[in-house]
Amino acid sequence: MTDDDMARPDAQALAGIRVLDLSRVLAGPWATQTLGDLGADIIKVEKPGEGDDTRGWGPPWLADGEGRPTRESAYFLAANRNKRSVAIDMATPQGQALIRRLAEQSDVVVENFKVGGLKRYGLDHESLMALNPRLVTCSITGFGQDGPEAGRAGYDFMIQGMSGLMSVTGSPDTEPQKVGVALVDILTGLNATIAILAALEQRHRTGRGQHIDIALFDVAVASLANQALNFLVGGTAPRRLGNAHPNIVPYQAFETSDGHLILAVGNDAQFARFCRLADLPEIAADARFATNRERVAHREALIPPIAAALKRQTTAEWLAMLDAAGIPAGPINTIAQAFAEPQALARGLAMSLPHALGGSAPGVRSPLRLSDSPHGQPTAPPWLGQHTDEVLETRLGLSAAERDALRAAGII
């Protein structure tokens, strides 16, 4: 592929796919941001004067071209690049009509209202798919479209607790802990993206769209992975192990002479090399530690001598030796140190995008890299209503006078 090909918008994987984003906060916006990274055209509908809740979730705030804080929060910037913001009041009949017209022209609608919340506006999936049978609609809720909890609101933190995730996160000597980012929201957004892409692929065969039901609770439980199966197979609820692993030993954080490192021994050959490197011949010769199965069974006897050995040298010294021996290990970085890692610099993970309010908006580059359909030039998250006139004119054919009338009535 040539440089010219890479510059063409239609070279992106989802070029030509139109997405109407009726979601806010994180799970839905993360899904639509991901679709936008892949080339889809994302129109984000927001309430005039208020917008997505996360616009106000600061500090920190984006600075404009003169260094003054704007009303754009870092939280909002994290999940809304590659989108056009249209301010429409969906509580009004005129606003609902505008959104229905946009849905008629769309391939995908993403929303995260409570179950039944859009029905009173005539914007639920049945109503929209009656207008556009090819439409893929994705509803993201806390607990799904059915079941005894369907009507409840769901938030990442409470779902982390209800799903069991917090029961296996944190030290056994402290209270259960949540993950340091809203990981259930992120995983829900990614699962929604996968389902949307699958529905679009099926539409190629059937000509029809479909409704997708994605629940934070379902995603959180499904994402327990080996811990869920440890319970379902073993019959005993897993416990918190801090930074240790329930199924692999040694696979945890250890203290060094000047800090900490993560040692992630994944197989018996790596363990044997580690014992030679750490000068632990008695451990290597002990039948209790010969296999991972035995090491897990005798964890309490194995960890203390390993911990004592690792305290003898600095983190940097250990990491250099472990890397040379092909033993997986790494530092425990701050976020600042993570962005300063040579690999992060080489991959360009931090980026800066020109923003319509002046200055630039920092961002994190998408991890999705496709050889034949590379990313186009990403755009900064929009300010509230930035593209209202553009979209209503080009998509719906509304004249300046018609838009002015809608604006005067507070509909846009």
Is 363 in contact with 351 (CB distance < 8 Å)? Answer: yes
Decide if 173 is catalytic.
no
Q: Which of 111, 108, 110, 112 is nearest to 134 (CA)?
A: 108
CA 260 to chain centre: 28
Q: Which two tokens stand for residue 143?
A: 């607990």
Residues with Cβ < 8 Å from 229, sequence gap 6 or more?
none
Indicate which residue of 41, 185, 323, 389 is catalytic.
Answer: 185
Q: Is 253 helix (H, G, I), strand (E, B) or coil?
A: strand
- If you write DSSP's letter for every residue of 307-368 in order, what string do you get? HHHHTTS-HHHHHHHHHHTT--EEE---HHHHHHSHHHHHHT-EEEEE-TTSSEEEEE--S-
d(Cα 358, Cα 360) in Å, to the nearest integer?
A: 6
Residue identified by tokens 């704007």 is: 70
Q: Which two tokens stand for residue 61?
A: 């705030």
Q: Which two tokens stand for residue 179?
A: 């993950």
Residues annotated as part of the active site? 185
